[in-house]
Amino acid sequence: MELIVSVIAAYLLGSISFSYVIAQKMMKIDIRQHGSGNAGATNILRVLGKGPAILVLSLDILKGITAVWIAKWLEIAEVFPPLTPIGEVEGLAPALAGLAAILGHNWPVYYGFKGGKGVATAIGVVSSLVFFPAIYVGIAAIAAIAVTRYVSLGSLIFAVATPLLIWFTQDYYGHPDPYFYLTASLGLISVWKHRTNVERLLKGTENKIGEKKM
């Protein structure tokens, strides 16, 4: 039962689009109709500036962390007795809750299922579950952004490299199997959501951080 409750709660939490809310509060605009059209921190940076972008980034990361820890708390506290053996699989509830939060961000029920790309929320989810692999890959992703100024490249590095690192270090860190399957799923979702960015990166026409939408 805690599995069902945590997944539903995570999806509803993930569906809160802080970029949409803040853009509405500040400028009375739908951020999805400006800049790149993406409901995320990078587009907020492009349209509203650094302060709002940092706020959106922080809140999106926080909702990923919160979704995971709600599931962990329900799992540890055993608020609800497991109804099936699947509910007793180690790490399953936090992993599915994290996935649900990201799906909520990408396809939010409150905003016509049109959301962002889920990168910041994924950072919150992954860092809560596999902290050290997330830190290592995050450093590489940030370095790539700093050198190239392509936020999308850093996002793709984080999405693809995280499950690979978990796969190769699973024996060392002892992460439950659901964590690997979660990060692999997030990687596929992220690549799909960034497919137009990939095309622009290959063509050399991708927008760099600090540039206006072309």
Structural domain includes residue 197: yes
CA distances to 24, 67, 150, 172, 212 from 47, rounded to whole Å, are 12, 28, 17, 43, 8
Instruction: Decide if 214 is inside a domain.
Output: no
Instruction: Report yes or no on 210 lying in a domain.
Output: no
Whether 161 maps to a domain, the answer reads yes
Task: Give the Cα separation of 51 and 59 in Å (integer).
Answer: 13
* Residue 145 and residue 210 in contact, taking contact as beta carbons nearer than 8 Å: no
Q: How confident is the model at residue 86 (pLDDT cuts 50, 70, 90)?
A: very low
The pTM assigned to this predicted structure is 0.88
The 10s digit of each residue's pLDDT in 148-186 is 999 999 999 999 999 999 999 988 889 999 999 999 999
| Residue 147 tokens, joined | 């050198």
Range of the domain at 8: 2-203
Q: Is residue 191 part of a domain?
A: yes
Would residue 209 count as lying in a domain?
no
Amino acid 74: pLDDT = 82
The tally of domains found in the chain comes to 1
